[in-house]
Structure 1
């Protein structure tokens, strides 16, 4: 039995689908799902991990990530869980982000088998451009010419499943990227080719995120992240996806092709 936290999100839901397709029993944990539990209520985590062999640990971005990670790790140890695969995040040049480093450290000292995944920027972040594209507006670019090894979330989910099911990944930390460095203008150019229509970008300062109604700690971290990328601080490509899955990581163009309908105008009638 595998417990999948964050099961309603992009990565968590993909992990559940992949496990189900392999016939592996899985519990999908969320605040409102079949397994209802809340990281802010440690007592609610105990029944969630009861009888579980492995946990996919995904905590929502925010200043409470360390606290939430430790709560689940504590519950997992108490319940006799064998393994935790933690979805961390890259903080630049392969290092963990500030929010995730304490959880990685807690996991390493827990006595559990573990695997840590540090993905780069998700290709699916481009879905946030759909409104601008459909309206014919330029796409905001907060990172200038800064390039990243943008990774397909499907690859991240597949690597997570390998970590959950196979002991050869125990004790490993994987930095998950796509196969090439791409900037926002690069992504937009590729998306324009896929859609067969011209697209433009407009340079926007990262501080614009502060006025978007995000939780303050999330907004501040996002601004720092955009500046990091703009300065070339996340210009990193690894072969970790290929080494784990035995095939090349998907490109951004592949992701864009597979999701092109998300950017097209709804058909009338």
Structure 2
């Protein structure tokens, strides 16, 4: 039995789908009702703040995919699940962390990864088998731009021309499945990136090419981004980490590309262009959506 936490999220839902396809016995953990459930998947409702619910979720489980929502609460939530896993006799935990996740917590440049470092250390000290996945920025983060692009408005650019090894979350999920189903990745941390560095202007240019129309960008300096996020009701701790991350990327601090996805999956990592092509419909405006739905007529 494999327990998948964060089962309604971008990565968690894909992990669940891929494991179901492989025929693995599955339990999906969520705080909310799942919109749909693969046949044979057991659903358990639990919260990281409820130790008893976590123990029930982990009972009889062989492996856990550990995904915690970003925020200052990540260390406590990681530790709660690790403790439940140990109490329940779980053999292995695969934790979704973040790129640069093991830099010292006192290093100011490591701030975006500070949330995950305690959980990584707790796993290493737990006596459980473990694998840590440290993905770069997700290609799917650009879905935040979809409303602006559909409305013909410019995309806000918080990171300037800074490049990142943007990774397709489907690749992250595939790696997680391999780690959950095999022992050869035990005791290893992987940094998961796409095949090349891409910046926000690069991503916008590729989307514009796919859509066949221009898309603009507007630079949003870090201090302005902070004001906008706070005004939008974001938790201040989340804002602090996000703004530090924006500065880090602007300064080239996340210009990292690895071949870990290629080595683990036996194929090249998907590019941002591939992700964008597969999700093109999310960025279509109303007229483009209507045209796409029209039946084609051939002579």
Using structure 1 for the length normalisation, give the TM-score: 0.97
The reply to whether residue 204 of structure 1 matches residue 223 of structure 2 is no
1:224 Cα shift?
0.7
- Check the 8 A contact 1:89/1:118 in 2, yes or no: yes
Q: Could you say which structure has the larger radius of gyration? A: 2
The reply to whether residue 39 of structure 1 matches residue 48 of structure 2 is yes
- Residue in structure 2 matched with residue 13 of structure 1 by the alignment: 13
| CA-to-aligned-CA distance 1:154-202 (integer Å, 9 cap, x gap) | 0000000000001000011000000000000001001111111111111
User: For the residues of structure 1 that align with 2:242 and 2:52, how far apart are their CA atoms?
Assistant: 31
User: For the residues of structure 1 that align with 2:203 and 2:175, how far apart are their CA atoms?
Assistant: 23
| CA-to-aligned-CA distance 1:203-252 (integer Å, 9 cap, x gap) | 01223233322111111111111111011000000000001000000000
Instruction: Point out the more displaced range, 245-254 or 215-224.
Output: 215-224
- Residue in structure 2 matched with residue 146 of structure 1 by the alignment: 162
- Residue in structure 2 matched with residue 55 of structure 1 by the alignment: 64
1:90 Cα shift?
1.3
User: For the residues of structure 2 that align with 1:136 and 1:196, how far apart are their CA atoms?
Assistant: 13
User: For the residues of structure 2 that align with 1:76 and 1:83, how far apart are their CA atoms?
Assistant: 8
Q: After TM superposition, what 4+ stretches of structure 1 lie above 2 angstroms from structure 2?
A: 91-96, 209-212, 266-269
- Residue in structure 1 matched with residue 40 of structure 2 by the alignment: none
- Residue in structure 1 matched with residue 282 of structure 2 by the alignment: 262
The reply to whether residue 112 of structure 1 matches residue 136 of structure 2 is no
Task: Evaluate the alpha carbon distance shift between residue 124 and residue 191 of structure 1 in structure 2; reply closer, same or farther with a 3 A threshold.
Answer: same
- Check the 8 A contact 1:90/1:119 in 2, yes or no: yes
Instruction: Point out the more displaced range, 94-103 or 246-255.
Output: 94-103
The reply to whether residue 216 of structure 1 matches residue 236 of structure 2 is yes
Give the gaps of 5 or more residues in structure 2.
Answer: 34-42, 104-109, 294-299
User: For the residues of structure 1 that align with 2:102 and 2:128, how far apart are their CA atoms?
Assistant: 27
The reply to whether residue 180 of structure 1 matches residue 167 of structure 2 is no
- Check the 8 A contact 1:92/1:228 in 2, yes or no: no
- Check the 8 A contact 2:101/2:114 in 1, yes or no: no
User: For the residues of structure 1 that align with 2:205 and 2:28, how far apart are their CA atoms?
Assistant: 37
User: For the residues of structure 2 that align with 1:120 and 1:224, how far apart are their CA atoms?
Assistant: 15
Q: What secondary structure is seen at the aligned counterpart in 2 of 1:168? A: coil
